[in-house]
Each structure stands twice: as structure tokens, then as C-alpha cells.
Structure 1
Amino acid sequence: MTEKQALLFDLDNTLMDRDHTFRSFSTQFVKDFLGHLAEDEALLVVEDMIVRDADGYRDKDGFFAELSEVLPWQTPVSAADIRGYYDQNYSGHGAAMKDAVEILDYCRERGYIMGLVTNGKKDLQDGKIDLLRLRGYFKEIVISGEAGISKPDPAIYRLALDRLGTSAEQTLFIGDHPVNDIWGAGKAGMDTIWLKRNHPWDERLDVTPWRTIDELDELKQIL
């Protein structure tokens, strides 16, 4: 394998602990909008929101419309108002993944060029990156909402490589989603490391990760 000079990371559920973030957001949302519920009822609504969110892979407009219809409101709240609340508050609940900052420091000390590729709206993803104080680690940050291309389209990875100034062979991609991260980056010619989180591997995929890890600190042994 070609010696790697650069590392590209995914954000949500790779460097940012999205599970923690969405649960924290949902808990605050239920407290703010459904304060009339008993504590056990409120907890059930939080769990229901987590299931309906499908790890963030739901269309957001559809998700908010569904919440507007099904949640046990005292006073109904529109999908547009839920979106407004989400856009204003979600990023503030962000938490770094276990070992994320330590591993970024480790990689920077060893001279790797680093970049980030993430799907989402620019202002929302920027808010997460800045809350977690990650921006300074990356030479380039590519956000789908700004680029006009989304993962797993290999073009978004090629855009990131162009901006980093490295080839696919020189660059390693680390992410949690089998299709959006591992398949997409693989189709762009990169070796990949799959961080196992909420998504099982799809055996139908014609790309496989070079390595599989359960925690980010395992990168130290690999790199």
C-alpha cells in the first residue's frame, strides 16, 4: 500500500458523537415544548424521536413534519417552527467522539495533512465544527451543502483531494457509514478505515474497508 500523507475524516458519528448530540437535543426539545408531560412520558418521547430520526438519515423536512403530527402537543407546533428550533439549537448540543481530539493531535504531530468531508447544511455543520473546536486541525473542510455534491458521490471526495493537494493513493479516509463513507471514498480510489457505529455492513457493497475499528484510538496502532 502507498504510504499515506493525508487523512480525510467524516464528522457525524466519527469525530462528533452524534448519538449523544441528538439525545441531548431531543431531551431539551421535549423539555421546552412538552413540559406538561410526566417524566416517564417525556423519556418515552425522547426515545421515539431517536428512533424516528434514523441516525440522521431521514429527510429533515419529512422528519419535522412527522413530529408536528405525532407528538403529544398541548399546543400544536408546525414543522417550520420545529426546523427553526433545530437550526438554532442543535449544534449547541454537540459532543466530541471518545478519543477524537487525542487522535487528531496524534495525527497532526506526525505530520499528516488532514481534511474533513461531511454532508449537511453549511451553517449547521460549521456550528458543530466550531463548538467542538476542530477547525484548526484541518487544511480543508468540504461540506455538501456548500459544495453542491453529497456523499457517497465520489465527486465530493475528489473535490476534497484536489483541495488537499494529495492523490487518492496518498490519502486514507476514516468514517462510520458503510455506503456514504466507505463505499464512496473507495469508489474515489482511497483506502478506508471503517469505524463501527450504528450501521451494519452491507455485504452487497463492492468495496471493503482496508481496516475496521471499534474506537478511534485504534488508529494509533494502524498509523
Structure 2
Amino acid sequence: MLSAVDEPADARVEAVLFDFSGTLFDDTGVLDPPALVAAAERHHVPLGEREAAGIIRRTLRHVDSPEGLKAREGCDLSREAHRSTWTTLIAEAGPFGPDLTEALYECLTDPGAWHPYPDTVPVLTTLRDRGVRLGVLSNIGWDIRPAFDRVGVLESLHSVVLSCEHGLAKPDPALFALACERLGTDPGQVLYVGDDPVKDGAAVRAGLPVYLLPSDRNVRMPRGLAAVLRLVR
């Protein structure tokens, strides 16, 4: 765990803030061939699963390329910027027409396409039952609350702070400060849990202790969140 300051021995963690993508919900299998086939059909674009799988591979290759990553900088500051950036990148990947582009974007932002890791719900529930205040702080361009609601833990969260709703994004310390304010807890007593050393690790600049998860992940395997239970007593 990274720490912003040397805390006194009696300091307590009163609240936990979690990142969303790659921390609580898996980000590696969101674009799924059967789901794309169904979404494309709603837009009157006939696709087979094999063709859909190829389209997904081409899309991911482009959006995760150095050029794609550069184009995505700042796209989480508003919903409009997110939609514009991602639909442009998706269209370029083919190039794909507007109907198929829209189907791909719908799949990307569909709460039902985001699946929690096996330990996400148990850990959130245990922390809630211990009386720990819980929040989510995410760089994201769409509303992720329905994903938590779908798995029955939205009511366990005291705060959900999304970059697209505030025009601020990690690693800006101001966004971490805002999230702590929403939790009603001093930053030094809020543990931040994430997976990005740069964006999530920046929480230390706002005075939060930080626990970083390893980059390797698999939706079928526990994410390692049980360690948080040992850190929060």
C-alpha cells in the first residue's frame, strides 16, 4: 500500500474509494461477439458471430494503439466528449458505417456487458456490514450506476463520482478531494483502491493512502480485493 504520509499508529480507515474498470468490474471482455450481433441487428446490420469477432479485434487494435490512446486523452471529461472520441475511433477502425459504429458504442457502454470480479460483491457487502463508508471514483464517460444496481450493490455505495459529471479526471487531486468530500470523510482516512499506478496512485497527492492491484486480471478469477478487508479494520 502506498501512503501519502506517515500516519499515527491509531489512524483508522473510515472509508474506501474504488476505481471501476479493471478494479471492481472487468474491462477485458466488454465487447462480446454475440452481444455485437444482437446490437447490430437492432441497427439493421446483419452480422455473424465470426464476423463480429473480427470487427471487435480490429476495433480494439485501433483504439488501444498509440494513436488511439493519444486521441482518448481527455475523453472522459464529459459524456459528449466520450461519445465523440470513441465513435470516431470505432469508425476509423474499419472503416465502419454509422450504424455499425453505433452498435459497437452501445455494446461498450452497456451496463450488462460489464461483469464484476468474483470477489467484488462479497468484499463490498462485507465492508458495508462493517459500517465502512464506500464510494466509487472513476474516469468514465457514461453512467456506471446501473452496473452496480444490476448486481445489487448500488445501495451499498455512499458516493459515486464520475469524471464525466464533474469535468475533472484522475490524476487531478481535485477529483479525489471531491470524492472524499462526498463521502464526508477526511482524505487521510479514505483508502483508495485501483489498478493504475499513474492515475490511481495520484490519490496520494490528495492525502489518501492507496492500495494498487496487479495489472494481470481475469473475470473468472478473484481480483485480490480480499486484501482490502485486512487493511480496513
TM-score range, shorter chain: 0.7 to 0.9
Q: Deviations over 1:96-151 (max 9, x none)?
A: 122001111121222211111112235x3233232233211111211122222221
Q: Return the structure number with greater relative CO, CA threshold 8 A, min gap 6.
A: 2
User: Map of 1:14-163 to 2, 5 A cutoff?
Assistant: 14-20=23-29, 22-24=30-32, 27-30=34-37, 32-33=39-40, 35-36=46-47, 39=50, 41-54=51-64, 58=72, 59=75, 60=82, 61-71=84-94, 76-77=97-98, 81-82=102-103, 85-86=106-107, 90-122=110-142, 124-163=143-182
**AA at the equivalent of 2:126:** Y
Question: Per the alignment, in what secondary structure is the counterpart of residue 120 of structure 1?
Answer: coil
TM-score, with normalisation over the residues of structure 2? 0.72
Question: Are the aligned partners of 2:140 and 2:164 in contact in 1 as well (CA < 8 Å)?
Answer: yes
Structure 1 gaps of 5+ residues are 200-212
Question: Are the aligned partners of 1:68 and 1:78 in contact in 2 as well (CA < 8 Å)?
Answer: no
Offset at residue 82 of structure 1 (A): 4.8
Question: Are the aligned partners of 1:52 and 1:63 in contact in 2 as well (CA < 8 Å)?
Answer: no
Aligned residue number for residue 207 of structure 1: none
Aligned residue number for residue 206 of structure 1: none
Offset at residue 215 of structure 1 (A): 1.5
Which among 194, 214, 217 is matched to residue 196 of structure 1?
214
Q: Deviations over 1:33-80 (max 9, x none)?
A: 3644572x443332333333439963443432233244275xx33687
Question: Are the aligned partners of 1:64 and 1:79 in contact in 2 as well (CA < 8 Å)?
Answer: no
Question: Are the aligned partners of 1:7 and 1:114 in contact in 2 as well (CA < 8 Å)?
Answer: yes
How far, CA to CA, are the matches of 2:199 and 2:123 in structure 1? 22
1:3 aligns with 2:12: yes
**AA at the equivalent of 1:77:** P
Number of residue pairs matched?
202
TM-score, with normalisation over the residues of structure 1? 0.75
How far, CA to CA, are the matches of 1:143 and 1:63 in structure 2? 17
Aligned residue number for residue 218 of structure 1: 227
**AA at the equivalent of 1:29:** L
Question: Per the alignment, in what secondary structure is the counterpart of residue 199 of structure 2?
Answer: helix
How far, CA to CA, are the matches of 1:177 and 1:10 in structure 2? 9
Aligned residue number for residue 79 of structure 2: none
Quick one: structure 1 residues 35 and 133, their matched pair in 2 at CA, closer, same or farther if it must change by over 3 Å?
A: same
**AA at the equivalent of 1:189:** G
> In angstroms, what is the RMSD of aligned CA positions?
3.2
